[in-house]
Amino acid sequence: MKLYDLDVSGNCYKVRLLCALLDVPVELISVDFLAGAHKRSPLIDLNVFGQLPVLDDGEVILRDSQAILVYIARKVGSEAWLPTDAPSLALVTQWLMVAENEIARGPNDARLHDKFGYKLDVVKARENARRILTIMDEHLETREWLAIDRPTVADIACMPYVALGWEGGVPLDPYPAVAAWVERIKKLPRFIPMPGL
């Protein structure tokens, strides 16, 4: 498997982290994002959206970090990270959507603004971040993991931009249950860090 990667991208990191936790070998291909390599051939041919990450597994080319997490978890064939019973799978999927929506438009957008200079409504991003982090904190007060009674791809999908929120003016101090959950993820066997985390 080849992963077209950007080391400071939380979405790319999700994939690197799951591969590390599952001990799945992956060849990292660093993309010169600032030079726009993701918007030109050969990358634009692999992902018409011009976004990272992109996973190349021979016959299978995938974009979108959540889809890639699902693919890797299923390819390994274990129920551990992506259960297949209907209730558990639905609970995991709910949190994958939170990663794609509320977390992306909250802590991620705030980080894009502060760290990378993106022109966006940072006040709205921080409001979104406070809302989702409050929901997550209340949810995690009574459980260790987001979806079910063990870590899943839901936790891997949601953690990076939550943990990196401080780079966008969204620290975890007011959310002790979320901060404890991030620390639990960091203690998983074969955990790897990323810049800022």
pLDDT in tens, 23-61: 999 999 998 777 776 778 887 888 888 889 999 999 999
CATH number for the domain running over 86-186? 1.20.1050.10
The rounded mean pLDDT for the chain is 95
| pLDDT for position 48 | 87
pLDDT above 90: percentage of residues in the chain:
85
| pLDDT for position 54 | 95
Cβ-defined contacts of 142-151 (< 8 Å, 24+): 144/181, 144/184, 145/181, 145/184, 146/95, 146/181, 147/88, 147/91, 147/92, 147/94, 147/95, 148/83, 148/88, 148/91, 148/92, 150/80, 151/81, 151/184, 151/185, 151/188
| pLDDT for position 46 | 85
Under CATH, what is the fold of the domain 2-76? Glutaredoxin (3.40.30)
**Exposed / middle / buried, residue 166 (Cβ in 10 Å: 0-12, 13-18, 19+):** middle
- Note the pLDDT tens digit of each residue in 121-177: 999 999 999 999 999 999 999 999 999 999 999 999 999 999 999 999 999 999 999
| pLDDT for position 27 | 96
Task: Compute the distance between CA of residue 131 and CA of residue 90 in angstroms, rounded to an integer.
Answer: 22
| pLDDT for position 185 | 98
| pLDDT for position 124 | 98
What is the mean predicted confidence (pLDDT) over 81-97? 97
Query: Is 86-186 the same fold as 2-76?
Result: no
> In what helix (H) or strand (E) does residue 29 lie, and over which residues does it extend?
strand 27-30
| pLDDT for position 197 | 87
Task: Compute the distance between CA of residue 52 and CA of residue 187 in angstroms, rounded to an integer.
Answer: 27
| pLDDT for position 174 | 98
| pLDDT for position 37 | 66
| pLDDT for position 44 | 87
Domain boundaries, the chain: 2-76, 86-186
